[in-house]
A and B are shown apart, each in its own frame.
Chain A
């Protein structure tokens, strides 16, 4: 318990730094928020003053900073300049498509990554290793927007095997592959080196000496331990998933948080950008805590106390 408390406390400076950064960035962004809020509607000076007051822009910077931090903690981050809806609601509305895409991408990415990594890891320097690692290299080198376009062109427009619009699983196939390929390359390399390391351990050698087949050894003994380093990197994968979401949602013209982020930045919808960044850091932190927990489950020998 103390461990988690310490972890959570340790995240306070992280949050503070990020949120301060967001506040500063949006403070120096060019453009008058009142103009943005009014979005071209004609308005008298009185209306403008009223809006300025309503947005709290008449107060000095430090007051606004403190109030921003307070609101960030409460999860009340104001309403969008564009739609005048509460930003939290807008984000929740777009959460589902992005979660679906991330989950789909994650499943494809982990499946592909594990298969390639294991194939490469069990027989290092064989042709299997070389070709698996070559596929992994393709994965990290393919621009995901290009992969997406190729998939749309070949399987969507030309062969018409899968729908490229709409909701539901079929329309999720190509976007998931796009995100998954993007993730799989790095994961495959990690799993390979992790397996190589584990295979050299004494207990594996013992298992092998007992006459167990290569596959049984790998699946029963090596995998569990080989998964630890990749799991710890799930936090980093989160960043990749967000990147994947922004690009993939653009290529497939899917709604979602990635699109929301891109549009909010381009439209200078400041409250929305703030909220997205605040929640993204929050999610990242929670994810990291979960990863630590997972770490303990996969490898019970590691005490949480030590992991810090």
Chain B
């Protein structure tokens, strides 16, 4: 027997919000990065690429900014009793930007190609989980089968990475071509990509299948949308103030504070779910092999002060392996590693590290040195460096680019690295903590702590396929506790997406995960 999970049916068409008259609004969003490589949702693992992808594509389920799931391209769905199959009834009024109809074949094509190694998927292939196959049950009905129960499946079908792509377009352009000019069913069509400069999108005039929870139906008020890549924060702010762009992401905290105080601009803060901005300690070499040293380091970092000082109230300190806004967050995290210099000193004394005259601890003639290549947030690295120096750590920070960091990761040539990850699912914990994700030659992975524990692996796998929400929460709580007990992960602050836009516009909405901004509902303020 199948259990009916949700059957609000054609809600979008019948009960949707008022349709708004299309206007010729043009907006430009200033984006932080320039190094986009693909706009194929099946391939990407970059939140910056997804900033474009969320405008172009729809998913089977639609998630709002708080991660609540609603019908999307699927009107309704059922889960089999053995939790191995998910059946979806699809909307029959949807077409891709290339004019071809959205149907069961498209869903099957999308999911089958994600697991095909030829595609080189980086994000979707993990998110889709233990995928086995997709059966086409009818033109607008499809069943997805798993090889083992996958509790995160419904959440996964709402993730941007599992957006449905146009099979015709993929076949025509090839995978690489599709990555350069994607075709979806979303409210905006891809127009052009000037590499390193900007992406141009235009309104999909046929768009009449917005999820019912959105504030209006029909095509967007925005006729043209541009995402311009401005990697320098001060320049983004200058561009916003000069009217060159209507909105900017990643606005520095001081500018946010200034904008929030005035009328000209409106600010919006996203508290991203997933891994907070954190440091992973390398447990395989150097001083961090010793758990006591890792724990001392964590006690020495004054996270509340750091977050307050660097983010001026726009980011909260983080205490757990996932941020508090992620499902299955364990509240026990909050009690771990409070700022305590005495505790840190005691731990280091006990571990045999003696304070030298230069304020750096030594043991057996070796200094307590830590090599910290910092890819992101150089000022956070400086604050951590200064904090732990008070208990005798000599942290060598090197501001690195990605190529250098990749090289160090492959060579196991670092003591700590920063990581962050936007995800609505606690399953994200597998990415840095499952032992299968330890980097091997030629295989880039994210278990940079190089932490291998069979118990942890088992719990992570069990949690993914947990049958009930309670069992799942319990497993994820145990996982979080072990990570904190082991002291391999230093949560620093919640990842915040700081958006400022001109007050002449309203309707900017954060996508699920609270990082990307959706353009669909943007309109002129009254």
Contact = CB atoms under 8 A, between A and B. Distances in A.
B242 interface: yes
Given A35-B410, A36-B406, 19 more contacts: A32-B410, A35-B407, A39-B406, A42-B120, A43-B120, A47-B117, A47-B120, A84-B176, A90-B195, A93-B196, A156-B238, A163-B242, A163-B244, A164-B238, A165-B242, A166-B242, A166-B244, A267-B35, A267-B402
B410 A39 contact: no
Contacts of B309: none
Contacts of B230: 165, 253
Interface in B215-253: 230-232, 234-235, 238-239, 242, 244
A42 B403 contact: no
Interface residues of A, number: 36
Nearest to B445: A42
B173 interface: no
Contacts of A36: 403, 406
Contacts of A93: 195-196
B118 to A, nearest CB: 9
A42 B242 contact: no
A296 interface: no
Interface string B23-66: 00000000000010100000000000000000000000000000
Majority DSSP secondary structure for residues of B touching A: loop
A36 B234 CA distance: 30
A45 B440 CA distance: 12
A211 interface: no
A55 B514 CA distance: 40
Nearest to A36: B403
Interface in A15-50: 30-32, 34-36, 38-45, 47-48
Contacts of B196: 83, 93-94, 255
Interface string B109-122: 00000000100101
Contact of B234 (A31, A82, A90, A253): A253
Contacts of A31: 403, 407
Contacts of A30: 407
Contacts of A43: 120, 442-443
A40 B403 CA distance: 9
A35 to B, nearest CB: 6
B444 A41 contact: yes
Contacts, number: 83
A44 B238 contact: no
B471 interface: no
Interface in A64-112: 82-85, 90, 93-94
A150 to B, nearest CB: 14
A40 B444 contact: yes
A130 interface: no
Contacts of A44: 117
A44 B502 CA distance: 47
Interface in B383-438: 401-404, 406-407, 410
Contacts of A189: none
Contact of A82 (B35, B232, B239, B407): B35
B524 interface: no
A266 interface: yes
Contacts of A157: 238
Interface of A: 30-32, 34-36, 38-45, 47-48, 82-85, 90, 93-94, 156-157, 163-166, 252-253, 255, 266-269
Contacts of A40: 122, 402, 406, 444
A92 to B, nearest CB: 12
Nearest to A167: B244
B244 A268 contact: no
24 contacts: A30-B407, A32-B410, A35-B444, A36-B403, A36-B406, A39-B37, A39-B402, A40-B402, A40-B444, A42-B122, A43-B443, A44-B117, A48-B442, A83-B196, A84-B176, A93-B196, A157-B238, A163-B242, A165-B242, A165-B244, A253-B230, A266-B401, A268-B403, A269-B403
A35 B122 contact: no
Nearest to A94: B196
A157 to B, nearest CB: 7
B406 A35 contact: yes
B363 interface: no
Contacts of A255: 196-197
Contact of A45 (B197, B234, B402, B442): B442
B243 to A, nearest CB: 10
A253 B232 contact: yes
A187 to B, nearest CB: 30
A267 B195 contact: no
Given A90-B195, A166-B244, A41 B122 contact: yes
Given A42-B122, A164-B238, A255-B197, A266 B442 contact: no
Contacts of B443: 42-43
A47 B121 CA distance: 13
Contacts of B244: 163, 165-166
Which of A32, A40, A93, A163: most chain B CB closer than 10 A? Answer: A40
A165 B401 CA distance: 25
B238 A165 contact: yes
B259 to A, nearest CB: 15
Interface in B125-144: none
Contact of B403 (A48, A83, A85, A266): A266
Contacts of B232: 253
A157 B241 CA distance: 10
A40 to B, nearest CB: 4
A90 B197 CA distance: 12
A269 to B, nearest CB: 8
Contacts of A48: 442
A35 B408 CA distance: 12
Contacts of A269: 403
A38 B444 contact: yes
A48 B234 CA distance: 40
A85 B401 CA distance: 21
A39 B35 CA distance: 11
B407 A166 contact: no
Contacts of A84: 37, 176
Contacts of B122: 40-42
B35 to A, nearest CB: 7
B442 A165 contact: no
A1 B354 CA distance: 78
A30 to B, nearest CB: 7
A267 B403 contact: yes
Q: Which 5 A-B pairs have the closest CB atoms?
A: A253-B232, A253-B235, A40-B444, A266-B401, A268-B403
Nearest to B235: A253
Contacts of B231: 253
Interface in B151-194: 176
A39 B46 CA distance: 13
B435 to A, nearest CB: 16
A252 B401 CA distance: 20
B324 to A, nearest CB: 29
B238 A41 contact: no
